[in-house]
């Protein structure tokens, strides 16, 4: 079964850091570009970051540029999001998603809450 499972979310104070992980299974992870998307409580979807299959191309939304770092380990079938200098407005459910035509496989999401 093709599956993505996020982990690493939690409660963190403003200015703190968190590292999210996304474990892939059931497909050849190293062949696909991947993305992080977030959804603040009661709000719509916001693209956060993208990484190509070999990590050659990396992109960030302006709202997280300079604070978040996307990476992947194809040997471990894993995608990561290092989040530093967290702000209250980063509070959201964070999803990882696979890129094919459109984004066809999504994880269940992990919740990040930034609050003092």
Partner 1 sequence: DIQMTQSPSTLSASVGDRVTITCRASQSISSWLAWYQQKPGKAPKLLIYDASSLESGVPSRFSGSGSGTEFTLTISSLQPDDFATYYCQQYNSYSTFGGGTKVEIK
Tokens 């302006």: give the residue: 62
CB of 78 to partner 1, least distance (A): 18
Instruction: Tell me how far the alpha carbon of residue 95 is from its chain's centroid.
Output: 6
Quick one: which of 94, 95, 110, 114 contacts partner 1 (CB under 8 A)?
95
* 98, β-bridge pairs: 34, 105
Q: Is 71 in the site for partner 1 (CB under 8 A)?
A: no
Q: Is 108 in the site for partner 1 (CB under 8 A)?
A: yes
* 4, β-bridge pairs: 24
Tokens matching residue 60: 């960030």
How many residues sit close enough to partner 1 to count as binding (CB under 8 A)?
20
Q: Is 1 in the site for partner 1 (CB under 8 A)?
A: no
* 81, β-bridge pairs: 20, 70
Q: Is 16 in the site for partner 1 (CB under 8 A)?
A: no
Measure the CA–CA gap between 22 and 5, rounded to whole angstroms: 5
Among positions 40-59, residues that touch partner 1 (CB under 8 A) are 44-47, 50, 59
* 60, β-bridge pairs: 49
Interface residues toward partner 1, by CB under 8 A: 35, 37, 44-47, 50, 59, 61-62, 95, 100-104, 106-109
């Amino acid at each position: 079964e093709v599956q993505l499972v996020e982990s690493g979310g939690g409660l963190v104070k403003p200015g703190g850091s968190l590292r999210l992980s996304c474990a892939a299974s059931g497909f050849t992870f190293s062949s696909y570009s991947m993305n992080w998307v977030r959804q603040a409580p009661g709000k719509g979807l916001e693209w956060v970051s993208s990484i190509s299959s070999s990590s050659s191309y990396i992109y960030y939304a302006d709202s997280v540029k300079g604070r978040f770092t996307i990476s992947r380990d194809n040997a471990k079938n894993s995608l990561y999001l290092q989040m530093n200098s967290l702000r209250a407005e980063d509070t959201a459910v964070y999803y990882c998603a696979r890129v094919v035509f459109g984004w066809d496989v999504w994880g269940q999401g992990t919740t990040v809450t930034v609050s003092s």
